[in-house]
Structure 1
Amino acid sequence: MDKDKSTRFMLKVVGDVATAMAAGLLLVGDRAGLFKQMAGAGPLGASELAERAGVRVRYVEEWLAAMAGAGYVEYDATSDRFTLPDEHAQFLTDPGSEYYLGGLFGSLPGLLAMAPKLAQAFQTGSGISFADFGSELPQMLEVMNRPVYEARLVQHWLPAMPEVMSRLQAGGRALDVGCGTGVVPITLAKAFPTATVAGIDLDAHSIDIAQGYARDAGLAERVHFAAQPIEHLTAQPRWDLITTFDVMHDLPDPVGAMKRMRAALNDGGTYLMVEPKVADDLETNLGNPFARMFYGISCLHCVPQSLAQGGLGLGACWGEKRARALAAEAGFTRFERLGIRTAGLVFYALGQEPAEAA
């Protein structure tokens, strides 16, 4: 046995557990308001931070030590004070910012709580339903996605498809499949006041939340939500734009879903499929921090909830090559990777070539 290799691995496991604990303490710091109080405040001692946040100083002392050890805050031993750099604060303090990562660490308790059930599923081959992950998960996913979608969807992403923009501006029809709490449909309805917009999702709890948001925004008459699976999508009425955002790999039958969406598109309509941005092969993905995170989320959530529906369990890291193959199997003759640059998402525009559409 290589003792040095063994020691390195032991230290890696200890470090990984320390990182997992620090990620949990990110959530604590977020909910206790500690990051917000540190942002822009310069160096602070534990007692100063505790007073600013209105919390107990002993907890803050230990929390700051953990955050400094994880590299999330900076520590000056001479003054015994801690600083949250602006470069870190942008990801931790403003839920309305597209850079806020609160949804990532906020979802960890629900995901990790499934570990015992997941271990059982490894033995039985059964899945874990979306609802089993808890009632907080829909809004944790919303926290993760809302700021990005609201800032980017209409202003940056849709302009990559000028025909789609023109159709929606002229009163076209848009459907978001797997809409969750309704962020995408409501954002589209606000941007295109003459368009017809709808969203469907398998999770009734998510749809209830979405309907509440639509009422609050005064859009209940214009945005329609339904708790239904993709298998119930009919070919009428037809749509100019159908979207899935980080959804296709979760569905039980991706090819069947794409066939239904293709049949429901108007002539010249577009299906926009947004998926995790990963390579086609594991070796390349191992060097990508986003891909490594996606593999973890996929094993904890994506695969088991697809299997719970009797599905394929495609997984989040399926890559462009397989996406193209499944789209072709579903009958799409146009598959374009859009030139939209993001760190973690890839955008595919699917449709029919004009000659075939005719």
Structure 2
Amino acid sequence: MDINTERLNELVGKMLGDLGGAASVPMVRIGDTLGLYKALHQGGPMTPGELARQTRIHERYLREWLSFNAASGYLSYDEVSGRFSLPPEQAMVFVVEDSPVNMMGAFDLMAAMQKNQGQIEDAFRTGGGVPWGNLQCMFCATARFFRPGYQNHLVQHWLPALEGVVAKLEKGPSWPTWAAAAAGPR
């Protein structure tokens, strides 16, 4: 079998990038759940010890978490002061809930997909489906993922792009004749 080493190396490189992304999911969710991104956003640059005192999280684990996030480009690190910080651009992605680019829901979706993998595998085998209500954490993760888009674009951009929709919504409901008759006198 002839192996094209260039294509093989490209594939392995892509997979390593995918695995790095997969490793980010639990690390980002830990930072979200424990309030670490918010603490850095509110408190400014901190050493692992300062962040440990602020959040009451064990310093040894924080050092690893901070280093992972800095290596991933999610946090900044200042070698001189030994402090980690959350730049404003990263805060828009990790902390500011009304930001149009808040991505925390996407990380929740990836975790929910893994949590529900067994049910999906069974559906592959049987050809059946998986009821939405049986998918653990999927509903909340989906809502959290889509909220920033709806919050920042639905009324401001999406509805106005649909001809006549805003005017109809502002006018209010129009009752069909049968509905008015069923409702009785007003």
Q: TM-score range by the shorter chain?
A: 0.7 to 0.9
Choose the corresponding residue for 2:78, options 76, 81, 96. 76
Distance 1:127 1:8 in 2: 35
Which of the pair has more CA radius of gyration? 2
When residues 170 and 52 of structure 1 are mapped into structure 2, their CA distance, relative to the original with a 3 A threshold, is: same
Aligned partner letter, 2:169: L
SS where residue 52 of structure 2 aligns? helix
1:131-150, aligned counterparts within 5 Å?
Answer: 131-134=133-136, 136-150=137-151
Deviation at 1:26, TM superposition (A): 0.9
1:157 match: 158
For residue 85 of structure 1, the aligned residue among 87, 102, 105 is: 87
Q: CA deviation at 1:8?
A: 4.3
- Residue of structure 2 in register with 1:225 after alignment: none
What is the DSSP-based 3-state SS (H/G/I as helix, E as strand, rest coil) of the residue aligned with 1:75? strand
The Cα offsets for residues 248-270 of structure 1, whole Å up to 9 and x where unpaired, read as xxxxxxxxxxxxxxxxxxxxxxx
CA distance in 1, matches of 2:92, 2:79: 25
SS at match of 1:47: helix
Q: Which residue of 2 aligns with 1:127?
A: 129
Q: 2: CA distance between counterparts of 1:15 and 1:8?
A: 11
Show CA shifts across 1:104-142 (max 9, x none). 1122221112223333433332222212212x3222222
The structural deviation recorded for 1:23 is 1.9
The amino acid across from 2:164 in the alignment is E
Structure with greater strand percent: 1
Q: Deviations over 1:232-253 (max 9, x none)?
A: xxxx86xxxxxxxxxxxxxxxx
- Larger deviation, residues 63-72 vs 123-132: 123-132
Aligned to 1:118: 120
**Alignment gaps of 5+ in structure 1:** 174-195, 197-235, 238-358
In structure 1, C-alpha distance between the alignment counterparts of 2:152 and 2:18, rounded to whole Å? 33
Which residue identity is paired with 1:170? K
Number of the residue aligned with 1:332: none
- Structure 2 gaps, min length 5: 180-186
Label 1:169 to 1:4 Cα distance change in 2 as closer, same or farther (>3 A): closer
Higher-helix-fraction structure:
2
Q: Distance in 1 between matches of 2:12 and 2:161?
A: 48
Aligned with 1:27 (options 26, 29, 33): 29
Where does 1:202-241 land on structure 2 (aligned, <5 Å)? none
Q: Which amino acid counterpart does residue 32 of structure 1 have in structure 2?
A: L
SS in 2 for 1:39: helix
Q: Deviations over 1:326-352 (max 9, x none)?
A: xxxxxxxxxxxxxxxxxxxxxxxxxxx
State the distance in 2 between where 1:95 and 1:49 align: 22
SS in 2 for 1:98: coil
Cα shift at 1:65: 1.7
Q: Which residue of 1 aligns with 2:173?
A: 172
- TM-score between the two structures when normalised by the length of structure 2: 0.79
AA aligned opposite 1:86: P
Runs of 4+ in 1 over 6 A off after TM superposition: none
Alignment of 1:181-330 (within 5 A): none
Q: Which residue of 2 aligns with 1:189?
A: none
**Helix, strand or coil: the match of 1:172?**
coil
The answer as to whether partners of 1:19 and 1:70 remain within 8 angstroms in 2 is no
Instruction: Give CA-to-partner distance per residue, 1:140-187, whole Å, 9 cap, x none.
Output: 2222223432333223322223522222222226xxxxxxxxxxxxxx
In the alignment, the residues of structure 2 paired with residue 9 and residue 151 of structure 1 have an alpha-carbon distance, to the nearest angstrom, of 37
Aligned residue pair count: 175
Q: Which moved more, 1:51-60 or 1:1-10?
A: 1-10
Which amino acid in 2 is paired with 1:166?
A
Q: CA deviation at 1:7?
A: 4.0
RMSD: 2.5
TM-score by length of 1: 0.44
**1:60-101 deviation line (CA, Å, top 9, x unaligned):** 111112212222112334443222211111111022333321
- State the 1:34 CA deviation: 0.7
The structure-2 alpha-carbon separation of the partners of 1:120 and 1:43, relative to structure 1 and needing over 3 Å to count, comes to same
Higher relative contact order structure (alpha carbons within 8 Å, sequence separation ≥ 6) = 2
CA distance in 1: counterparts of 2:118 and 2:154, whole angstroms = 37
